[in-house]
């Protein structure tokens, strides 16, 4: 498990995960088998998306426990 930051608050049972699910308008570079791909996700890409039931995953994997 990878831990980037932990805040211990003994007065609360809250667990908060912060980060970016998507970085809009920034190039992302991926390497698949030696082929390089670049993508830029438009800031309007999710305007009509239903975000009411979105799972939390680490690197798109079901094999890694997030919390």
Give domain limits for the chain. Answer: 15-60
What pTM does this model have?
0.57
Q: How far is CA 17 from CA 5, 26, 42, 56, in A?
A: 9, 22, 24, 10
| Conformational region of residue 37, where left means phi above 0, alpha means psi within -120 to 50, and beta covers everything else | beta
**What is the arithmetic mean of pLDDT over 5-31?**
80
**What is the arithmetic mean of pLDDT over 27-56?**
92
pLDDT over 60 (residue 1): no
CA–CA gap between residue 26 and residue 21 (Å, rounded): 13
């Amino acid at each position: 498990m990878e831990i980037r930051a932990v805040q211990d608050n003994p007065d609360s049972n809250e667990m908060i995960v912060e980060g970016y699910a998507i970085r809009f308008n920034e190039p992302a570079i991926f390497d698949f088998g030696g082929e390089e791909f670049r993508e830029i996700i438009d800031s309007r890409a999710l305007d009509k998306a239903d975000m009411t039931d979105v799972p939390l995953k680490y690197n798109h994997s079901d094999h890694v426990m997030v919390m």
